[in-house]
């Protein structure tokens, strides 16, 4: 059975790097954040309707990655897929920027199941990128707390990932070994 591990948290918290490192460590694949691709192709200015396209793209790439791992299960020992961003991130994005969320995102949150969440803390230095919107500490803290509240109020296991890049990686590996290999979902 495939175990799905999701990295979530505010922007510039090392989610993509962590997913890529974990996939390499566990000899599997990772699902990148579709928003990056979308914004690279369409420009960094976006509206409410763009978020729906981004959410649909994220779901499609997640499904593709899960299917890729599933098709390799027979020939490899790989049973994990790492997902950089899911519909919780889309929900937070919708609500933080536009004050409301598309129902289909909420419906997907209700039906999609994951095995572990890695909540990436804001304790890394901010890295400037054209796509990033919130370099100031106040919105980063607000967003982090929104993600934490979401995870506290759902049933899937989750761990906070903090520290430098090396510490984050080790905390994530330890959590995956604990929750994905010693507990059934």
User: Which ranges of 26-164 would DSSP assign to H, the alpha helix?
Assistant: 34-42, 48-72, 87-98, 103-111, 137-152
Show the low-confidence residues of the chain (pLDDT under 70): 73-78, 130-131, 135, 182-185
Q: What is the pLDDT of residue 76?
A: 56
Q: What is the pLDDT of residue 77?
A: 56
Quick one: tokens of 112? 């999609």
Q: Are 44 and 130 in contact (CB under 8 A)?
A: yes
Q: What is the pLDDT of residue 75?
A: 57
Nearest CA to 133 out of 54, 46, 19, 52 is that of 46
What is the rounded distance in angstroms from the CA atom of residue 92 to the CA atom of residue 89? 5
CATH code: domain of residue 7 = 3.40.50.300
Q: What is the pLDDT of residue 129?
A: 72
Instruction: Give the dihedral sign, CA 12/18/21/23.
Output: negative
| CB neighbours of residue 110 within 10 Å | 9
Q: What is the pLDDT of residue 87?
A: 97
Q: What is the pLDDT of residue 79?
A: 86
Q: In total, how many domains does the chain have?
A: 1
What is the rounded distance in angstroms from the CA atom of residue 66 to the CA atom of residue 82? 9
Q: What is the pLDDT of residue 184?
A: 45
pLDDT one-digit tens code per residue, 84-110: 999 999 999 999 999 999 999 999 999
Range of the domain at 167: 3-181
| Predicted structure pTM score | 0.92
What is the rounded distance in angstroms from the CA atom of residue 4 to the CA atom of residue 145? 23
């Amino acid at each position: 059975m495939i175990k799905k591990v999701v990295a979530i948290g505010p922007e510039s918290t090392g989610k993509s790097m962590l997913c890529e490192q974990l996939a390499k460590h566990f000899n599997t694949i990772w699902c990148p954040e579709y928003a990056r691709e979308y914004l690279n192709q369409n420009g960094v200015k976006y509206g409410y309707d763009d978020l729906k396209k981004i959410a649909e793209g994220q779901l499609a790439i997640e499904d593709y990655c899960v299917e890729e791992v599933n098709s390799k299960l027979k020939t490899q020992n790989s049973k994990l897929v790492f997902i950089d961003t899911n519909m919780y991130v889309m929900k937070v994005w919708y609500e933080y920027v536009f004050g409301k969320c598309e129902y289909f995102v909420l419906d997907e949150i209700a039906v999609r199941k994951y095995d572990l969440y890695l909540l990436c803390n804001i304790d890394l230095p901010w890295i400037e990128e054209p796509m990033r919107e919130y370099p100031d500490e106040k919105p980063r803290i607000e967003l982090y707390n929104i993600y934490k509240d979401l995870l506290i109020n759902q049933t899937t296991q989750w761990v906070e990932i903090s520290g430098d890049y090396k510490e984050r990686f080790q905390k994530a590996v330890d959590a995956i070994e604990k929750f994905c290999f010693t507990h059934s979902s």
